[in-house]
Amino acid sequence: MKNILVLHTGGTISMQEDTQSGAVAPSLDHPLMDFTEAFKNLAHITTKQPFHLPSPHIRPAEMLTLKNLIEAECKQQSFNGVVITHGTDTLEETAYFLDLTLNIHIPIVITGAMRSSNEIGSDGLYNFISAVRVACCNEAKDKGVLVVLNDEIHAAKNVTKTHASNVSTFQSPQFGPIGLVTKREILFHYKPLYREKYDIEQISKRVALLKAYAGMEADVLDAIDDKKYDGVVIEALGQGNLPPCCLPGLKRLRKANIPIIVVSRCFKGVAQDVYDYQGGGKQLKEMGVIFSNGLNGQKARIKLLIALTKTTNQNKLSQIFQDPVCENED
Ligand code: ASP
């Protein structure tokens, strides 16, 4: 039988609904602890609870704690897989953080729930069992951190929370899930082509995330410099354009050598240096703005936080944000 390390970190999957008020709050005892029986024919489970937090309370510091804990536990004992339970609000950020920083070849699976443990149609136990089944699967090795909810397996890099309350909230827009959980099998149909690893020991930089809007002015960008952020990610308009009123703020940030990463605020597609007008992507690139290859804003922020622990050099940061592209397109 496989040995699976389970790390409970909190979130709705660990909460209960007050039947009178309908309010959902953390419960004293983790509800999933009662279900060890459900795993008796599936895996040998070792459980740890490094923290018990709603996921809006999770910071990069907790993500780093999780990474260090997984590495330490896997050094001490021979596990076949790791399952992390987590609140869904920031689950994609923790998943991508671990995807970029863990250098471990066993399956790492992260799951959560949209309905708390005592609500009708609660998806917590079901998703937890699915995640353990995926972590036990040899095919799940070397595919990066996997997000498993609602019978789907998603790559950490592409998955995002798309709905505030629906159980099918986790989707990989444009790419789709890389596998499925069925009653009898775990079926993979894709493997992420390109993976990156950053060996980090600490995370101390501050990176802000801004969303562009019609008529956006430079003062919000000035605040990034005033408040001494180390970098900023901007969800720009369309293919990667910004209102011209922003330009003085961008110039100030570049002068202060604060890296600016641009992603698209669109749900799908890639921001690129296409448009050549005031504030257009081509001009932004000439100013030293870095275009990220298709990440969403919150993932680009995680990547910049990690990249800044390695370098503040503009060219190196720019390379880090470029996935390899096909060189020989005819
Ligand atoms: N607010 C909750 C959290 O992220 C939502 C959830 O767990 O699904 O902790």
Is the C-beta atom of 55 inside 6 A of ligand 1? yes
Q: Is 12 a catalytic residue?
A: yes
Segment 269-287 mean pLDDT:
97
Query: Helices 91-101 & 60-76, crossing angle to 10 degrees?
Result: 50
Q: What is the pLDDT of residue 238?
A: 98
Task: Examine the pLDDT at 77 and tell me if it is beyond 60.
Answer: yes
Q: How far is ligand 1, taken at its centre, from the CA of residue 305, in Å?
A: 23
Task: Examine the pLDDT at 195 and tell me if it is beyond 90.
Answer: no
- The Cα 119–Cα 123 span in angstroms is 9
Q: Kindly give the residue spans of alpha helices, DSSP state H, lying in 122-218.
A: 124-135
Is the C-beta atom of 54 inside 6 A of ligand 1? yes
Q: What is the pLDDT of residue 196?
A: 93
- The Cα 133–Cα 131 span in angstroms is 5
Taking CA atoms only, the protein residue closest to ligand 1 atom 3 is: 87
Q: What is the pLDDT of residue 328?
A: 61
Q: How far is ligand 1, taken at its centre, from the CA of residue 116, in Å?
A: 9
pLDDT tens for 121-168 read: 999 999 999 999 999 999 999 999 999 999 999 999 999 999 999 999
- Domains of the chain are 2-188 (3.40.50.1170), 207-320 (3.40.50.40)
Which tokens hold the place of 311?
Answer: 């370098």
Confidence of residue 36 (pLDDT cuts 50, 70, 90): confident
